[in-house]
Amino acid sequence: MKFDSTSPCFFKTLEHCVKDNGMQTPALYTLLSLLILILIFGGRRMYLSDMALMKYLNRKNSLYHGKILELRESVANWLSYIPHTFPHYTRHTVEHSEEIILQISKMLFKDNDQEQAILRLSSAEAFIIMASALLHDTGMVVSDQEKIKILQSEEWNLWVSRSGAKRWNEIMGIREDNSIEISTRNFIADLQTRYLIAEYIRKTHHLKAVDVMTQNHTFLGKFSFDDPSLFRTITDICVAHGLSSYELDDSEKYPERRDIRGEEVNVKFLALLLRIGDLLDMSYDRACPLLMNAACPLPADSLAHWTQYQRITHRLTATDSIEITAKCNTQDEHRFLQDWCQWLVDEMKNASIIMSKATRHSNWIVPSVSMGTLNSSIKIEPSISATYIPSEWKLELDQDMVFQRLISDVYQSEKDFLRELLQNALDATRCKVIEDLKNKGEDVPTFTNQISEHIREKYPINITLEEIAIQSPLSQEEHLKQLLVIEDNGLGMDTEIIKKYFLQVGRSYYTSEEFQRKFNFKPNSQFGVGFLSVFAVSEHITVETYKPSSFRGEGPISLCLTSPRSYLLTDKGSRKKSGTKISLILKKEFSKNELYSLLNKWCKKIEFPIFLNELGTQSVINSEEVHQFTYEIESLEENKKFVTSVYSIDEKDVFGEIYVTHVNDNNKDDWSQWNWINYQYENSHPIAIKPKSPQNLTCINGIAYSEFESSRPFSFRIDYRGEYLKPNLSRQHMDRENHLDNPVIYNRFIEILNEHLSLPHIDTMNNKWIYINKIINSEPRIIKSFQDTPIIRVFISGIPKLLSPNEISKINKFYTFSINSYHKKYSIHEIQEILNSIKEPVLLDMDLFRIADNIIPYYERAISKITPINENYFYLTLWTTAKATYLRKFINSNDYDYHRFTYSLAKYDNKNIIGLRLFDSRSSSKNREVLVLNLNNILVKWLIKVNSALEERSDFLITNAYNKILELLKTPVTLDGYESDILNDHINKWKEIKGLPSQFLPPKIIVDESMFFTSYR
């Protein structure tokens, strides 16, 4: 009999053998403990060099074999630090990596025999999968210094305010729980924070692994031989183990064929193997009791994760089958293990679908694995000592109510049924045209809108609306009713599809294994409930369908439906060609031209023509064309035209156009005059009419989901054909898509903009930096592409120089120069003399208003000092990288007033001055304005004193009174002392507060308008 020396059945057998020889229980357990130590830390595990995959690599390429051995030693040292951050996790050391390699080896080689490989792996593939297995968890090693940075990062603050909020709030509650002794509660809170940091790191450890491999390539033995393609392949496969399944569809990262060091490699196949091997590491010692004791106290939700592996009594991984039997003690163990195994089953099923269509290794037959049936290969049951009772109890649905909700409540309008039927027709047509092209041996593009138009026009969708006479079964009188017919030339249905999908609510053919094996496009019909919408508008529905390609050879089929709960009547159909025809006698009529309007509204970018016969009026619905949105219009100003230009997008799974509305001045395009176009031109003359930009449009697979006015000169009319954007169940209530969030669209937009900026009349203009800033103002999201572009003018010793936002951020200190022209006109010579005397960079406030609103050079900087020059006609403000200090209201930071009543603190020589405003908020966006309180002023000193006292000890009445002062300061600081009398009166009334502590008594001061000014006029 052959035992795995780490399995429970081995220990049970050993126990019986010893007891049979008369050994007492205490001595028995002592011996067993010693044996556990020997077996766990001794040589019980199959060595890496003994695995068939490793032997195979040694025979195929000894250089790769040696590199794996070298890498194993380097990785072992690195991964040994994982328990420092993840003490509560099951084993993630190098033994975990080796177990993954072992499981993969068992799936690819019979009986651990290198001569019995079921696939012809290249040596590069064997090397890459083993290197990836060794390296995939390197991102779980995090130093204490990195943890401190995480706790101080904005990303952490965002995470604990969202997905991590519940546990973070619980930790904060522990720290503030006065019923627990302070050292105890801090210990518990620190421990829980450690676990929470681990959870935060775990979510992105697969991405962090890339950084680890990049920064430590030499330490890790230069595992890629300095080959960039090999390095990228290994890192991408490591990342894959933390991705969603659909993300493996990225053919750029996970191609099915790639040449690496002279050999062919299926990268997607290797990514699938790593994911499966990771799930198959269920070895007993992954939940070693000694390690578990060392990690205790464990979080409650970790204990079952540890113990689930101890409950496995039988395991088999082979080329043809995967078997697991487990006897669980608790419900949690059962649930965790069942979820884990279901994940494994789903992963294996997905791998089977993908590999059946692969261009390399398509002959790989995935080991069979199943659960939930009588003869399943995975069985999870209660142990003899378990007290729980497994059951198949589950939530039940009230069928009538569910049908009612799905028929009547999901959609905004009852006419939305038409869009559901149209989407079904389009998806079926896409299947048919792909099938026909394959049968002819022709190349099939990734998306059907890329197929030649002369082919697509042969697959029209026909929609007819007519009136027919219906005889009442009771009165025998005839009534006119509308008959709507939607007919496609698509794939059609056979009885198998009808039974398995058409009649199954919530199950769609377009998510089936059969569909995914045959077709690569992403359909709109995914939820399996859309057809139910027809029952809201009709009680007489006929479906005629024919699938000539069906292996059943059944011929055409006709179905009659009256409600979702009635029996189906079927008959032999008369249809002669492939496709489906659905006829509905409508309960409520379409109004005149309503059908045309709806189709025109939805079918913005469909690739097949729709022939419409609406009560005798015939028309054709096609995809929109760019000439509908481009124009040139003469303005009322001489030699100026308004122009809308178009730029196409056709990359990856994104199709459509970017439109730019701009001015053409003397035959030169100018994109910087959006404010004039949008806000000023219309008021310049009684007959002036503001030109309109095209609306923004979001389509999914050709069907429009949202269309809205553009408030900017750039409009995006985009059709998404891949995974980036998916429809929701109702196809409604979708947020307005921010198209520039899509990397493909963003990169294309920047490409178009750079082409424009390189035009001779733009590239050579004197103030190109101003021009660029105006464009950024029109589309603020593009600022990230201009962080290294010199678009901010400063003066250094009087000489102008352009700096980039990143360069400005690295300067330790600079000045802003404000001009107060209220009482005196100034000369350029006067300003130039002042600028000549300052060696540090100086930013003129007039230039500050020329840069884009979302570029704030003084953001997160402190005002060191404000200096008046030439009798207060000019002001120099020194900004440094020191920590800024503020006075704010005592309110929640998310409150609207939190930033409205924020005052920077700075020194100003004139002690009588209470506050001033830097920069004029009316000249630009609100974020330009800076309100400053003078640290040298007696009233401000008192406010700081009150603020400090309230921070130490809260007082409701005093807090409200303090907040009121900050509110009343806003107007005089902003408007040259206006309403300073109201502020003065309020301060004086503080003295009337009964029982006011002495530290809260305001200073003796009469506040008037002379104590405030603005630096800008």
pLDDT in tens, 540-557: 888 899 998 877 778 898
Q: Tally the C-alpha atoms within 13 A of residue 891's C-alpha that lie toward its C-beta.
A: 18
Q: What CA–CA distance (Å, rounded) separates 378 from 317?
A: 12
Q: What span, in angstroms and rounded, lies between the C-alpha atoms of 987 and 89? A: 60
Show the tokens assigned to 794: 């400063």
Query: In this structure, is residue 390 part of a structural domain?
Result: no
CATH of residue 585's domain is 3.30.565.10
Residue with tokens 């050879």: 553
* Residue 660 confidence class, pLDDT cut points 50, 70, 90: very high
Which residue type, as a one-letter code, is found at position 719? D
- pLDDT-derived band at 12 (thresholds 50, 70, 90) equals very low
Are both 304 and 210 inside the same structural domain?
A: yes
| Spatial separation of the C-alpha atoms in residues 22 and 420, rounded to whole Å | 76
Phi-psi region of 328 (alpha: psi -120 to 50; beta: other; left: phi over 0): beta
CA 808 to chain centre: 31
Q: For the chain, what is the domain count?
A: 5
CB 77 within 8 A of CB 97: no
Binning pLDDT at 50, 70 and 90, where does residue 26 land?
A: very low
Q: Is 481 helix (H, G, I), strand (E, B) or coil?
A: strand
Give yes or no: residues 698 and 581 share one domain: no
Residue 73 CB-density burial (10 A; 0-12 exposed, 13-18 middle, 19+ buried): exposed
Q: Is residue 832 part of a domain?
A: yes
Cβ-contact 777, 853 below 8 angstroms: yes
pLDDT at 47: 84
Q: How far apart are CA 309 and CA 305, in angstroms?
A: 8
Using one digit for the tens of pLDDT, what is the confidence trace for 843-893? Answer: 998 898 899 988 989 888 999 989 888 766 788 999 999 888 889 888 765
Give, for 52, the enclosing helix (H) or strand (E). helix 52-60
Q: Which one has a higher pLDDT value, 901 or 159?
A: 901
Q: What is the pLDDT, as a whole number, of residue 295?
A: 35
Q: Is the overall model pTM greater than 0.75, yes or no?
A: no
* Same domain (yes/no): 131, 184: yes
Q: How far apart are CA 847 and CA 919, in angstroms?
A: 11
SS (H, E, C) 239-284: HHCCCCHHHHHCCCCCCCCEEECCEEECHHHHHHHHHHHHHHCCCH
Residue 504 included in any domain: no
> What pLDDT was estimated at residue 78?
77
> Does position 8 have pLDDT exceeding 70, yes or no?
no
Beta partners for residue 560, in sequence order: 542, 569
Length of the chain in terms of residues written: 1017
| 980-989 vs 956-974: helix crossing angle, rounded to 10 | 160
Q: Is pLDDT of 696 > 70? A: yes
- Same domain, yes or no: 122 and 37: no
pLDDT average, residue stretch 478-498? 88
Could you report the per-residue pLDDT of 392-433, keeping only the tens digit for each? 666 665 556 655 555 555 556 677 888 888 988 998 999 999
Contact between 88 and 198 under an 8 Å Cβ cutoff? The reply is yes
CA distance 351 to 373: 21
Same domain, 794 and 749: no
When mean pLDDT is compared across 264-278, 414-428, 860-874, 920-934, the lowest value belongs to: 920-934
* Contact between 354 and 275 (Cβ < 8 Å): no
Please state whether beta strands 714-720 and 654-665 pair in parallel, antiparallel, or not at all (unpaired): antiparallel
Write the CB contacts of 190 (distance below 8 Å, at least 6 apart in sequence).
Answer: none
The predicted structure's pLDDT at residue 58: 93
* Residue 391 included in any domain: no
Q: What is the CA radius of gyration of the chain?
A: 36
Q: Are residues 530 and 589 in the same domain?
A: yes
Please check the confidence at residue 286 and state whether its pLDDT lies above 90: no
Same-domain check for residues 704 and 840: no
Tally Cβ neighbours within 10 Å of residue 565.
9
Looking at every residue in the chain, the average pLDDT score rounds to 82
Give every CB contact of residue 523 below 8 A, 6+ residues apart in sequence.
427, 430, 510, 515, 701
Helices and strands (H and E) in the chain: how many:
33, 31
How many Å apart are CA 886 and CA 966, to the nearest integer? Answer: 12
| pLDDT for the residue 200 | 80
Residue 941: partners with Cβ closer than 8 Å, 6 or more residues away: 935, 1003
Are 657 and 744 in contact by the 8 Å Cβ rule? The answer is no
For residue 821, CA distances in Å to 344, 844, 874, 928 come to 74, 14, 8, 19
Domain check: are 166 and 210 in the same one?
yes
Lowest mean pLDDT among 89-98, 654-663, 861-870, 880-889: 89-98
Q: Domain for residue 498, yes or no?
A: no
The model's confidence at residue 727, banded by pLDDT at 50, 70 and 90, is low
Confidence at residue 617, expressed as pLDDT on a 0 to 100 scale: 93
Q: What pLDDT does residue 57 have?
A: 94
Q: Are 383 and 448 in contact (CB under 8 A)?
A: no
* Chain mean position to CA 202: 17
Q: Which of 103-117, 144-158, 418-432, 528-542 has the lowest mean pLDDT?
A: 528-542
Are residues 200 and 59 part of one domain? yes
Query: Do both 885 and 975 map to the same domain?
Result: yes
From residue 1004, give the alpha-carbon distance in Å to each of 938, 965, 1007.
9, 16, 10
Burial track 990-1014 (b if 16+ CB lie within 10 A, e otherwise): beeeeeeeeebebeebebeeebbbb
- Whole-number pLDDT of residue 605: 94
- Cis, peptide link before residue 460, omega less than 30° from 0: no
Q: What is the pLDDT of residue 404?
A: 59
Q: Partners of 463 in the beta sheet?
A: 486, 612
Please measure the distance between the N-terminal and C-terminal CA atoms of the chain and give it in whole angstroms: 95
User: For the chain, how long is the longest CA-to-CA vector?
Assistant: 112
The label of the residue with tokens 């790769």 reads 64
Q: Which domain holds residue 826?
A: 787-1014
In this prediction, residues 102-131 reach a mean pLDDT of 93
pLDDT score of 300: 43
Asked if residue 751 has pLDDT above 60, the reply is yes
| Residue 206 confidence (pLDDT) | 82
Which of 315, 385, 371, 305 minimizes the C-alpha distance to 9? 315
Tokens of 902: 């924020």
Q: In this structure, is residue 233 part of a structural domain? A: yes
Range 359-382 average pLDDT: 90
Stretch among 51-65, 160-174, 256-270, 483-497 having the lowest mean pLDDT: 160-174
Q: How is residue 679 annotated by DSSP?
A: I
pLDDT above 80 (res 33): no
204-224 average pLDDT score: 84
Q: 63 and 33, same structural domain?
A: no
Q: Which amino acid is at 213?
A: M
Q: Has residue 396 been placed in a domain?
A: no
Q: Mean of the pLDDT values across residues 615-629?
A: 93
Asked whether residue 265 is assigned to any structural domain, the reply reads yes
Asked if residues 572 and 553 have their Cβ atoms less than 8 Å apart, the reply is no
Q: Does residue 301 have a pLDDT over 80?
A: no
Rounded-to-integer distance, Cα 980 and Cα 1006, Å: 10
Tokens of 84: 């420092």
Give the three-class secondary structure for 672: coil
Residue-wise pLDDT for 520-531, tens only, equals: 777 776 655 556
CA distance 880 to 867: 15
Phi-psi category of residue 352: left, alpha or beta, with phi > 0 → left and psi -120 to 50 → alpha: alpha
pLDDT at 504 over 80: no
More confident residue, 864 or 285: 864
- The lowest-confidence range among 109-123, 310-324, 468-482, 623-637 is 468-482
Write the CB contacts of 174 (distance below 8 Å, at least 6 apart in sequence): 180, 185, 188, 189, 192
Last residue of a domain, one of 589, 621, 653: 621
pLDDT for 31 equals 45
Higher-scoring residue by pLDDT: 262, 303: 262
Contact between 752 and 782 under an 8 Å Cβ cutoff? The reply is no
Per-residue pLDDT for 689 more than 80? yes
Considering the chain, what percentage of its residues have pLDDT values greater than 70?
A: 83
799 shares a domain with 740? no
